[in-house]
Amino acid sequence: MLTAEQNERLTRVGPGTPMGELMRRYWHPLAPSAELSEEHPTKEVRLLGEDLVLFRSAAGKIGLIEPSCAHRKANLSYGIPEPEGIRCPYHGWLYDTDGQCVDQPSEPEGSRFKDKVKLKAYKTEELGGIIWAYMGPDPVPVLPRWDLLVWDGVEREIKMMELPCNWLQCMDNSLDPVHFEWLHNYFGSYVLGMEKPPEERAEWKARMQSEGARGRHELKVGFDRFEYGVIKRRLMEGDTEESPWWRIGHPVLFPNILRVGQDRRHGFQMRIPVDDTHTLHMTMSVLIPKPGEQAVAQDEVPFSYPAVYKDNGRVRADWVLGQDQTAWIIQGPICDRTTERLGVTDVGIILFRKILEEQMQIVADGGDPLNVHRQEKDIIYLPQEESIYPGFDEPGGPFAGQENRPPMVEAILADKVDVSFR
Ligand code: FES
Ligand SMILES: [Fe+2]
């Protein structure tokens, strides 16, 4: 349970708020590169409570600038891309990708007025088929080259979902592995079963009542801090502590990216705060080709906007991401954490809130928070228990041989109820 002030500090992301200032220290994915095409060279976006226009110039350069033309405030998402930048549709002022006005065709010959006109602009970079934006202070940190953004010869796909809820609901969920058994297995099969014709439901109902409907029960969940965020691990019924799910786990990249995957599929789930009550959920999935097979060649990474809602207005829960999105949305625009009641299984959530508080303080004190990168690295490998990595023979890739160690925070769910914070 939090006080109203604590809940506000953790959730509000607008300019000048402690969380907004922390969030502005990170590169955020904003749109698929392929979305800015010749047919659609501009996009109205909103990030961390600020409205902006994203565009691609006729020379292919990306710009991210304040939305209204400095002259008479026309929205530049209606602008015309030119090699130098974007030209306002109203009177033709031209802005480059740094927001500098470089042409005012109707001002007198030789006028220097344009030199004094500059729109707010933010840095962008493209990596892995995604346009990333940085809205924080200088010096601009390095955009981390996470493994699945830089692998060659793989097949990528992006999904975009705009959700009417605060970003922290999505992240609370990532630190809460116990939801899997209920939200995905039990509720998920309930939703799918209810879509069957009535005469087929009896068999499905019987199956729902059996233990198997919830999948394997978790015996323990554990969380570790590591240099990029938090590693989550779980020990399931029938497994020993040698299982890669307990020994290796998979990470939450601070502050808002979950790594998921199994076998040949790896993925990121990125929860980008649009404003206090809206989140852009962007996922990237990466398929590693089988030995001897080649990935489908991709000139660009394809993207889609899967429906969040059904025709009847209810959140779509007939797929795994939809079940998570349902849970986030039905907690309300901003979850009321002042009346929540946390249990044993919520140790990960408690740990994450502590880290958020600590990192907001580091920013307030003028420091670099967790997972801000200052040094270029060619590739940063991330653990993902049972996944196949390109160039590695064993599942788990570079982490396959990793030894077990006690987690930093652990909740024991079977035999006895126990929580330990180290
Ligand atoms: S409003 Fe943009 S040039 Fe006049
Ligand atoms: Fe989930």
Note the pLDDT tens digit of each residue in 5-42. 999 999 999 999 999 999 999 999 999 999 999 999 99
What is the rounded CA–CA span in Å between residue 342 and residue 180? 17
In the predicted model, what is the mean pLDDT of the chain?
95
Three-state secondary structure call for residue 114: helix
The residue whose CB lies within 8 Å of the most ligand 1 atoms, and thus the one to mutate among 65, 82, 93, 95, is 93
Residue 206 is predicted with a pLDDT of 80
Q: What is the separation of C-alpha 395 from the centre of its chain, rounded to a whole number of angstroms?
A: 25
Nearest to 232 by CA among 214, 252, 261, 253: 252
Three-state secondary structure call for residue 212: helix
| pLDDT tens per residue, range 263-322 | 999 999 999 999 999 999 999 999 999 988 888 889 999 999 999 999 999 999 999 999
Q: Is 277 exposed, middle or buried (0-12, 13-18, 19+ CB in 10 A)?
A: middle
pLDDT band at 416 (very low <50, low <70, confident <90, very high): low
Helix 347-364 vs helix 167-174: crossing angle, to nearest 10: 130
**Cβ 44 vs Cβ 51: under 8 Å:** yes
Q: What is the CA radius of gyration of the chain?
A: 23
**What is the atom index within ligand 1 of the atom nearest the CA of 104?**
3
The residue whose CB lies within 8 Å of the most ligand 1 atoms, and thus the one to mutate among 82, 86, 91, 102, is 91
Beta strands in 276-366 (DSSP E): 278-287, 303-304
Nearest CA to ligand 1 atom 4: 91
Three-state secondary structure call for residue 174: helix
| pLDDT tens per residue, range 47-88 | 999 999 999 999 999 999 999 999 999 999 999 999 999 999
Q: Which ligand is nearest to the CA of 78?
A: 1
**Cβ 322 vs Cβ 315: under 8 Å:** yes
pLDDT band at 422 (very low <50, low <70, confident <90, very high): low
pTM of the predicted protein model: 0.95
Q: Which ligand is nearest to the CA of 87?
A: 1
pLDDT band at 253 (very low <50, low <70, confident <90, very high): very high
| pLDDT tens per residue, range 167-210 | 999 999 999 998 998 999 999 989 988 888 988 888 888 877 77
Residue 303 main-chain phi, psi, to 5 deg? -140, 160
Q: Which ligand is nearest to the CA of 188?
A: 2
How far, in Å, from the CA of 163 to the mean position of ligand 2?
15
Nearest CA to ligand 1 atom 3: 91
What is the rounded CA–CA span in Å between residue 419 and residue 314? 37
| pLDDT exceeds cutoff 70 at 415 | no
| pLDDT tens per residue, range 317-372 | 999 999 999 999 999 999 999 999 999 889 999 999 999 999 999 999 999 999 99
Helix 320-329 vs helix 167-174: crossing angle, to nearest 10: 120
Can you name the CATH fold of 147-421?
Answer: Naphthalene 1,2-dioxygenase Alpha Subunit; Chain A, domain 1 (3.90.380)
User: Where does CATH 2.102.10.10 sit in the chain?
Assistant: 27-134
| pLDDT tens per residue, range 81-137 | 999 999 999 999 999 999 999 999 999 999 999 999 999 999 999 999 999 999 999
Residue 179 main-chain phi, psi, to 5 deg? -65, -20
Where residue 99 falls (left for φ over 0; alpha for ψ -120 to 50; beta otherwise) is left
Distant-in-sequence, close-in-space partners of 64: CB < 8 Å, separation ≥ 6 = 30, 45, 52, 53, 54, 121, 122, 123, 124, 133
How far, in Å, from the CA of 103 to the mean position of ligand 1?
11
Q: How much of the chain, in percent, has pLDDT values that exceed 70?
A: 98
Q: Which residues line ligand 1 at a C-beta cut-off of 6 Å?
A: 69, 71-72, 74, 88, 90-93
CATH number of this structure's domain 27-134, picked from the four choices 3.40.50.620, 2.60.40.10, 2.102.10.10, 2.40.160.20 = 2.102.10.10
Q: Which ligand is nearest to the CA of 68?
A: 1
User: Where does CATH 3.90.380 sit in the chain?
Assistant: 147-421
| pLDDT exceeds cutoff 90 at 212 | no
How far, in Å, from the CA of 125 to the mean position of ligand 1?
27
How far, in Å, from the CA of 331 to the mean position of ligand 1?
43
What is the rounded CA–CA span in Å between residue 165 and residue 330? 9
**What is the atom index within ligand 1 of the atom nearest the CA of 92?**
3
How far, in Å, from the CA of 322 to the mean position of ligand 2?
9
Nearest CA to ligand 1 atom 1: 72
The residue whose CB lies within 8 Å of the most ligand 1 atoms, and thus the one to mutate among 78, 90, 107, 114, is 90
